Amino acid sequence: MKVTMKRPLVRLLLRWLVCSLGLWIAAGLLSGSIAYDSTAAIIIAGLVLAIVNVFIRPVIIILSLPAILFTLGLFMIIVNGLTVFLASKLYTPLHITNFWAAVFAGMVIGLVNYLVTTIVEERE
């Protein structure tokens, strides 16, 4: 059976995996600023982040569209950081000390997302 990006459940599971992996990598790179209680906590935090990305992120993007257009898309880095920071506030076993650590985690998750998406699309 071929894994396709068109099925919503597969997309959510892949997004969950990418968010968890990106948070784990970011926590390893910024061990003083990003911490988690256990491996299960990072997996659940990835699910919370995936849900935030599905439901809340589009609203944030629409509200910040003038800033995104004015900065030619660079404000999306801040939007990604905001979603990571919001996920850490919604799920307290994920500890992010400051907003800039969340912005860095958002960049790491974006890079991991890019790499995984490229690999999946190559296989299709």
Categorize the per-residue pLDDT at 122 as very low, low, confident or very high, splitting at 50, 70 and 90: confident
Domain count, the chain: 1
Q: What is the pLDDT of residue 89?
A: 97
Q: What is the pLDDT of residue 1?
A: 40
Tell me whether residue 2 is in a domain.
no
Q: What is the pLDDT of residue 5?
A: 54
Q: What is the pLDDT of residue 10?
A: 84
Given a cut of 70, is residue 6 above it in pLDDT? no
Tell me whether residue 39 is in a domain.
yes
Is-above-0.95 flag for pTM? no
- pLDDT tens per residue, range 68-95: 999 999 999 999 999 999 999 999 999 9
Tell me whether residue 5 is in a domain.
no
Higher pLDDT, 12 or 77: 77
Tell me whether residue 1 is in a domain.
no
- pLDDT tens per residue, range 107-119: 999 999 999 889 8
Tell me whether residue 64 is in a domain.
yes
Q: Buried b / exposed e across 46-80, counting CB within 10 Å, b at 16+?
A: bbbbbbbbeeebeebeeebeeebeeeeeebbebbb
**What residue numbers bound the domain in which 105 lies?**
10-123
Range 7-14 average pLDDT? 86
CA dihedral 59, 77, 115, 23 (to 10 degrees): -80
